[in-house]
Structure 1
């Protein structure tokens, strides 16, 4: 059997549409992919972004879980730097009460400080775009906190953090999450505290990461499953997976490493149609990296009218070159390569198109082709 496919949804707002449209499309998509055979449905966390509504994964997850019956539903990821471990466990514990055995708590480091003694991914010299056994590894994108992007991130942190509040380091927050779920949390003064709901919840706790740094190490050392981010930072995916596996220690949750790898994909009946549907993607990524946040997702017509500069193209090159676009057979082949090279135990696919019917159809075509692949990757 091929490895499972799952879904990551940002609940995008289409250009000309509303937040209500995005919400209704998310519920429609969740119901559809459940019938197509996808394993889980993750909801991202983004703030101050005009083009997506996934700002509260626990709230949106409750609505998605209530509209479905068998899908695992969760966060991909809730950002611990913006909340306390207790508040996160209580929220997802309540979801587990309502939908027992179906809830994933995916957690990410973004927004959390990096304390002295912790490390980012090891520095290495940027490599030009290349392939590893058929998998495209693009030249790394150099994030900077200058200009509009830096100002937006600073504003986000200011508005999501109470004045004077200090967030613990990421590893400490993950430990607190696990302690609350296990019922073993103790304050520095020795007081036992219990998350109700949350303690004893049947949650799958995940760590999501974009590099071979702290997130991969924390997930491995605590024996948690790990999701590596090929769809946002494709240049780092092999480093992230390797760092996780190197750090892995068996735990009460896992005897051996479990890796999910994400990918952007657009599937249609013909290559030409798939490329047309995917054509706004570069413009959408540009809006994110230029600092304004994701714009409402453009139509192919709007994308065709954009005049691209060399600087624009460089800004989005790594993301555009690693989006999987084509017929079902073409995209399945590329996903098989991604699975083979990374050794992923599961793939999570994110698909964005302007019209919802095309997005839903893309997931339908992919699921059918994946299930029927004669020589797909094995579990």
Structure 2
């Protein structure tokens, strides 16, 4: 049985292009994703980098207006940068006009504590990377945040996103506040009942996202929420992430059983060689993130210089776990990932220099996966 296939988009900005075009590309991709039978279209949240997805809720409303059936959501709202009320009211506003289509994905990457713990820690010394293959799935040695070459810029960016003196709530408490606001039973610490308008009673599904078997995975399990495990971000932790969610799961009225989505980076073309050529600058993009500079403009693979050995070592876990090839090649690897993790749904993200190549990547995979009949070229 074919499981659902969904898309995560980061609104990447290609070298020589701009924010306006990146946003138009995202809306265009969402419209094609709906036509091609993808189940969901989710948006990431990133700040002070060369991607156009810094305001995913705003973009979500624009995409909702440009589509009519595909589920839309965030992957994920960085809760450390938002109050519970602002999140619920924003999603409630969109749901009031486009009801029953929204997935509210929540993540803890914006929380100051996690950022400060990694800032100022010396990089992990270079070491031989050991990779294993389990049932056809590459599981690399885990990458840890303190392997980044420089955390100064990341810490400064985090600081700029907070009001002076403001401190985010503990992640678990904030998730529970959001659920209470949506249900309509939110009460302040002083015992005052507050009701989010719009927001209360909105037909919004709450998801948690995580890259390890820690707090996010176990909180999703304890609350009986669906969970998305980030193989594309942290492939070395995928098995413990999945285990953490399943082991802690407690049935809820909405979800009597665990529901797991697993993500993967994908580039598909008509043949393996073409796909490998299109993906050749992916390592450069990941290196810009891990070097501490933040995601850069996506380079043209035809002109991007080769990575040095040192640069390649820093991104090796991501390049070896990117699913690159013909439709049959990539579909086979995705099915192996699904079988290893027991995923109920696969979430793909695809970045290429040319938007037309990215559209074609998604179209070819939709056809191979058997999502819909209308998989004509864009």
Q: TM-score normalised to the size of structure 1?
A: 0.92
Count of aligned positions: 359
Change (3 A) 1:179 1:372: closer
- Inter-partner Cα distance in structure 2 for 1:319 and 1:145: 14
- Give the corresponding residue for 2:41: 41
- Inter-partner Cα distance in structure 1 for 2:66 and 2:56: 15
Change (3 A) 1:42 1:146: closer
- Inter-partner Cα distance in structure 2 for 1:81 and 1:140: 25
- Inter-partner Cα distance in structure 2 for 1:262 and 1:302: 29
- Inter-partner Cα distance in structure 2 for 1:166 and 1:292: 25
- Give the corresponding residue for 1:346: 345
- Give the corresponding residue for 1:26: 26
Q: Where does 1:194-209 land on structure 2 (aligned, <5 Å)?
A: 194-209=195-210
Q: What secondary structure does 2:130 align onto?
A: coil
- Give the corresponding residue for 2:56: 57
- Give the corresponding residue for 1:67: 66
1:209-231 deviation digits (Å, cap 9, x = unpaired) = 00000000110000000000000
- Give the corresponding residue for 1:139: 141
Shift of 1:307: 3.8
Shift of 1:142: 2.7
Shift of 1:113: 4.5
- Give the corresponding residue for 1:118: none
- Inter-partner Cα distance in structure 1 for 2:371 and 2:54: 36
RMSD value, Cα:
1.6
- Inter-partner Cα distance in structure 2 for 1:127 and 1:185: 48
Unaligned runs of 5+ in 1: 116-125, 374-379
Shift of 1:145: 7.7
Shift of 1:147: 5.4
- Inter-partner Cα distance in structure 2 for 1:288 and 1:83: 23
- Inter-partner Cα distance in structure 1 for 2:149 and 2:162: 22
Unaligned runs of 5+ in 2: 115-127, 373-378
- Inter-partner Cα distance in structure 1 for 2:30 and 2:148: 37
Given that 1:42 and 1:73 are in contact with CA atoms closer than 8 Å, whether structure 2 keeps it comes out as yes
- Inter-partner Cα distance in structure 1 for 2:358 and 2:86: 33
Given that 1:14 and 1:297 are in contact with CA atoms closer than 8 Å, whether structure 2 keeps it comes out as yes
Alignment partner of 1:250 is 2:255: no
Q: What secondary structure does 1:282 align onto?
A: helix
Q: TM-score normalised to the size of structure 2?
A: 0.92
Given that 2:38 and 2:371 are in contact with CA atoms closer than 8 Å, whether structure 1 keeps it comes out as no
